[in-house]
Amino acid sequence: MARKTSLMKAPTKTALEPSAHIPFFDNSGDTEGFGYGSFCAFETAVSRHLLTSHVRQRSADIFSFPSFEFDSCGCSGAPAASGDRLQRPRSGEARIEDRLGAGLHELVIENAAQSIDQDSIRIEGTGHAQIQEVKFKDEHVVQEDIDSAEVKKLVEELKDVEKQRFELNDKKDSFKRQVDTLNVMANKIGCSEGGQTFVFTEDFESNLSNFFAFYDKRVTELHEQMRDVEDPLERLNKEHDKLNNKINELRNNRRFSRNILVSLEVLEESDMEFVLTYQVYGAYWRPTYDVRVVSAASTADKTALKMDYFAQVRQNTGEEWTDTSIVLSTAQPCLGGNVPELGTLNASFFKPPPPPEHYEAYRSMAPRPMMANAKSFMVSADMMESAPMVGAVSMRASQQVLSTEFEIPNKKSIPSDNTDHKMLITQIDFAPSLLHECVPKKSTNVFLTASVINSSEFPLLEGEAAVYLNHSFVAKTQVKSVAPGEKFTCSLGVDNAVKVTYKPAHKFNTESGMFNKQASVANTQLISIQNNKQTEGITIIVREHIPKATDEKIKVKVLSPTIEAQKPEQVARKMSVSTPVTGCTLNEDHNLEWTLQIKENEKKDLTVKWQIDYPAPRG
């Protein structure tokens, strides 16, 4: 006979150490939803539970273990990107001491997460025992028995609100009945009974005056009291609906307990340890950053850049993660167990599809194409796999370049409310190289950019960053994925201390020659740059158009400044955070890049002059 061991709600003496492993939400391929890309349709997390029990001999057939209830013991989470599935391992330790005899036992783990993936259940153990079978079973239960601590608290608040509503409704009904009674009495005045004739006397007039005076006063008081009740009653009704909706949201239509049944054969008395792992849907995280730049106070100081690395954790698994050790992961575990089929890649001559029927009538009249007999060559795939859905594992894997884990130092509590919860991963100090950039033809604003080498051991994941310059918020920007030791740039917004004046261009048209006339267009552009900083010089790159000839008859000459070929040291400095070499070069877009240094409180004037020579039109 198998002995049934039930793992239900843990008593206070049971030590629980829950932890969570949460997948990273990579939205780089999405285009809508939540402001950063649409969410995956299926997000998963891996739950890990470590159950430790000291097993001894016992003669009884049925045993009751101290319980471990997944839903209310305090689970924890950490996100790890796994394509359209997010993995969150969670472990909880419950030390169970009881006497068990050798033989068959059934462990019943009650209240697993409602969002559990049944096919993902795994259980491992150490000790003198063998696991015979692992099953999953749904059992209908009373709703209150499986409510979490948060839901139970909300239910108590709801009961208190309902009690106040009943009291106010009773008062309102009492006032209304009094008004109705007075109205009935007023309606009976003047009505004769039993065929008697109504006689209007002085006594009746006096009594009638007294009644109406009382009626007017009392009805007015009752209506005022009813109005005084209606306002708080309306507020209580709204509070009642709010609490009720919140409770229904947290319960998530949960009407049954999801139990995991483990058949176990204990061979001999020993210390037993089991690790239960399963995947749940609805947990993930995404990185955000605060980039704070403090400018140098003097020429002897250096500009400092500090980055606060945050994680926005969100979960809607149906579990309450209370006092949980959080591990954030960028891993993408493969949830499928089958090797994909590659299919056959065929090489064949292209056969165009048959023309429509109405086209056949005109085909004999149409001129034959010059290459009608030539056969087009193509490469096609026979029985190729269909393209993966948005958010599929293969698509995510191609976009994920980093794989690491971040362990949050302090335990966190994350309710199953599907809202972001911000937590600090780490703080990193960088030594940036600041560079000013301006494209005055498009905008006279001067943008400040920080070039940084990621000298930390933490990889930076793609995410949104808030930029603060000298303790003032200046911009929102996007940080791309950066590995340790890799260079990256961060836009710090507009630097208002540097002013650029872009004056109107001067153009001159000339013609020369008698027979083969040549026309020329000369363009002169003046650019003024004023550095208003009091203690800091700047390095600035100004970009300006230089025409690019698309015909050999068109000749373009740069008259000012002198264009230099890129030197090896210039290319090397672009790959580092060193200050760029001053001078003028043409970039890959054939635009002028003029790099210069401007001291504090200094002004420099730039002149860009080019000339186009081309054959003059005949006329």
| pLDDT at res. 368 | 47
- The CA distance from 574 to 571, in Å, is 5
Check whether 330 has a pLDDT greater than 80: no
Q: Tell whether the torsion through CA atoms of 406, 407, 408 and 413 is positive or negative.
A: positive
CATH class for the region spanning 152-251: mainly alpha
pLDDT tens for each residue of 459-486: 999 999 999 988 889 889 999 999 999 9
The answer to whether 512 and 520 have CB atoms below 8 angstroms apart is yes
- The CA distance from 294 to 288, in Å, is 20
Mean pLDDT of the chain: 73
Check whether 305 has a pLDDT greater than 70: yes
| pLDDT at res. 250 | 72
Quick one: which H or E segment has residue 246? helix 202-251
| pLDDT at res. 61 | 29
Can you give the C-alpha Rg of the chain in angstroms? 40
CB atoms within 10 A of CB 98: 15
**Where are the domains positioned within the chain?**
1-141+255-285+313-352+384-419, 152-251, 498-615
What DSSP character marks residue 44? E
Total-model pTM? 0.59
Question: Per-residue pLDDT averaged across 412-432, rounded?
Answer: 90
pLDDT tens for each residue of 78-119: 333 332 233 333 433 333 444 566 888 888 887 777 788 888
Provide the pLDDT confidence category of residue 38 given band limits of 50, 70 and 90. Answer: very low
Separation in Å, CA 208 to CA 195, 199, 202, 203: 21, 13, 10, 8
Q: Measured over all CA atoms, what is the biggest interatomic distance in the chain, rounded to whole angstroms? A: 135
Check whether 279 has a pLDDT greater than 60: yes
| pLDDT at res. 299 | 67
Check whether 213 has a pLDDT greater than 50: yes
Greatest mean pLDDT range, 16-30, 243-257, 303-317: 303-317
Quick one: which H or E segment has residue 156? helix 149-188
The answer to whether 62 and 1 have CB atoms below 8 angstroms apart is no
Check whether 21 has a pLDDT greater than 70: no
Query: Between 118 and 2, where is the model more confident?
Result: 118
Check whether 403 has a pLDDT greater than 90: no
- The CA distance from 19 to 143, in Å, is 26
- The CA distance from 429 to 455, in Å, is 9
Check whether 308 has a pLDDT greater than 70: yes
